[in-house]
Amino acid sequence: MFVAVAGMNLGLAEDLDIGGKRVARGSRADFDLPVAASSDPATSIPVTVFHGAEPGPRILISAGIHGAEYVPVLAVQRLLSQIDAARLKGTVIIARVAHLSSFLRATVYYNPHDHKNLARVFPGSASGTQSERIAYVFTNELLKNADALIDLHGGDATESLHPFVGVYGGELAAKQYPLAKRIGLALGIPTLVRYRMDTKAQVDGNGRSPNRQAVADGKATVLVEVGDRGRRDPKDVEMLTSGLVNVLRVLHMLPEAGKPEPVPDVRWIAETASVASTKTGIFYPLKEAGMDVRKGELAGYVTDLLGKTIEELRAPADGVILYMPYAPPLNEGPSSPLVVGIPSKPE
Ligand SMILES: [Zn+2]
């Protein structure tokens, strides 16, 4: 919160310092935030900061944590021309391509150097491998300067995905939940998943994502998933760009008023159920994300390399498929689950 005190100097003290780069109030800066070399090569996070003329909410928007999820990267590029720091209230920090080496090499899920999933190594380490160093810089230079994180993802090249927003609540995020919910609804994406973070074990998960790190650091936290099977559908890019602009309007950061909230016809999901293949082979989908399924319904099957069926993937609950495998290669284990959202009452 910003509290103006009579007679206080509102000059330099209000500049923002990110990785040694100073950004004055009312100005925009585009720069590459360095991630130093260690056991593997150096990289950087391309960042744009709009440090508004007036104080207000500080929002971090990140795209490209997973390098082959393209709609968010294209949407934030379009968002850049729609914010004017001189007329902005608050601060918008945009990690335009958070995982640059993965993006440029078009690797799915994993860093091309250390083969780790950037979304499982937070808060990272200054002396770790490249994924860990990116996470460290992200946490300590970007997330640190924000009140809220909007982390943008989509269906990777191997995934069928139905667009949805995830807002983080539960005991460990109770104070931040109202802001997260406000942001989530303002995005205008009609499927909204409410994640509960009640224990540290949940925050740590199977390796921390940037979202769980944001919860641990007391930030309002929103996950956005838009874009199907590594595609770049212009309608998806437009939906995400206009949703992000509406967030800034609803938070009164832009001069224009936002659309009324809550957005009508939102499908709320308070619980998800997932199942993953226990076999490696060739996947044949029979359903796709966005379809309603009944518990036990066959959503796809896995064959061996000769074509013999060795596994059936069945819906673990009644609900809507949020995402599921799509590509023929499927590995056993939790990296490519079938996830069903179970509809609930609005919260
Ligand atoms: Zn992702």
Regarding whether 339 and 242 lie in a shared domain, the answer is: no
Q: How many whole angstroms from 86 Cα to the centroid of ligand 1?
A: 33
- Residue 287 domain-assigned? yes
Mapped onto helix, strand or coil, the DSSP state of residue 214 is helix
What local confidence, expressed as pLDDT, does residue 13 receive? 52
- Residue 298 domain-assigned? yes
The dihedral over CA atoms of 99, 103, 109, 110, expressed in degrees to the nearest 10, equals -70
Q: How many whole angstroms from 69 Cα to the centroid of ligand 1?
A: 6
Q: How many whole angstroms from 224 Cα to the centroid of ligand 1?
A: 9
Q: How many whole angstroms from 66 Cα to the centroid of ligand 1?
A: 5
Question: Which of 265, 299, 324 is where one domain is finished?
Answer: 265
Regarding whether 174 and 298 lie in a shared domain, the answer is: no
- Residue 226 domain-assigned? yes
- Residue 236 domain-assigned? yes
Selection from 174, 165, 169, 230 nearest residue 193 by Cα: 165
Regarding whether 92 and 166 lie in a shared domain, the answer is: yes
Number of folded domains that form the chain: 2
- Residue 6 domain-assigned? no
Q: How many whole angstroms from 154 Cα to the centroid of ligand 1?
A: 6
Regarding whether 175 and 319 lie in a shared domain, the answer is: no
CATH (domain of 254): 3.40.630.10
Q: How many whole angstroms from 147 Cα to the centroid of ligand 1?
A: 22
Q: How many whole angstroms from 65 Cα to the centroid of ligand 1?
A: 6
Measured between alpha carbons, how far is 179 from 37 in angstroms, rounded to an integer? 37
Q: How many whole angstroms from 343 Cα to the centroid of ligand 1?
A: 23
What local confidence, expressed as pLDDT, does residue 146 receive? 98
Regarding whether 324 and 182 lie in a shared domain, the answer is: no
Q: How many CB atoms lie within 10 A of CB 284?
A: 15
Measured between alpha carbons, how far is 256 from 48 in angstroms, rounded to an integer? 22
Regarding whether 235 and 170 lie in a shared domain, the answer is: yes
User: What are the residue ranges of helices labelled H in the chain?
Assistant: 70-79, 100-105, 130-137, 177-186, 200-204, 210-216, 234-250
Question: Which of 211, 239, 265 is where one domain is finished?
Answer: 265
Regarding whether 293 and 246 lie in a shared domain, the answer is: no
Provide the β-strand partners of residue 49. 29, 93
Measured between alpha carbons, how far is 85 from 24 in angstroms, rounded to an integer? 10
Regarding whether 279 and 260 lie in a shared domain, the answer is: no
DSSP notation for 246-306: HHHHHTT-SSSPPPPSSPSS-EEEEEEEEE--SS-EEEEESS-TT-EE-TT-EEEEEE-TT
What local confidence, expressed as pLDDT, does residue 264 receive? 59
Give phi and psi for 72, each to the nearest 5. -60, -40
Q: How many whole angstroms from 70 Cα to the centroid of ligand 1?
A: 10
- Residue 1 domain-assigned? no
CATH (domain of 292): 2.40.50.100
Regarding whether 180 and 311 lie in a shared domain, the answer is: no
- Residue 5 domain-assigned? no
- Residue 7 domain-assigned? no
Q: pLDDT tens digits, the chain, 347 residues: what are they?
A: 545 444 444 444 589 999 999 999 999 999 999 999 999 999 999 999 999 999 999 999 999 999 999 999 999 999 999 999 999 999 999 999 999 999 999 999 999 999 999 999 999 999 999 999 999 999 999 999 999 999 999 999 899 999 999 999 999 999 999 999 999 999 999 999 999 999 999 999 889 999 999 999 999 999 999 999 999 999 999 999 999 999 999 999 998 877 666 565 889 999 999 999 999 999 999 999 999 999 999 999 999 999 999 999 999 999 999 999 999 999 999 888 999 999 998 87
Q: How many whole angstroms from 64 Cα to the centroid of ligand 1?
A: 7
Q: How many whole angstroms from 197 Cα to the centroid of ligand 1?
A: 19
The distance of Cα 182 from the centroid of its chain, to the nearest Å, equals: 16
Q: How many whole angstroms from 151 Cα to the centroid of ligand 1?
A: 9
Regarding whether 244 and 279 lie in a shared domain, the answer is: no
Q: How many whole angstroms from 329 Cα to the centroid of ligand 1?
A: 18
Q: Which structural domain, as residue segments, surrounds residue 75?
A: 12-265
Regarding whether 286 and 234 lie in a shared domain, the answer is: no
Q: How many whole angstroms from 12 Cα to the centroid of ligand 1?
A: 37
Regarding whether 208 and 243 lie in a shared domain, the answer is: yes
Q: How many whole angstroms from 63 Cα to the centroid of ligand 1?
A: 9
Question: Which of 265, 283, 312 is where one domain is finished?
Answer: 265
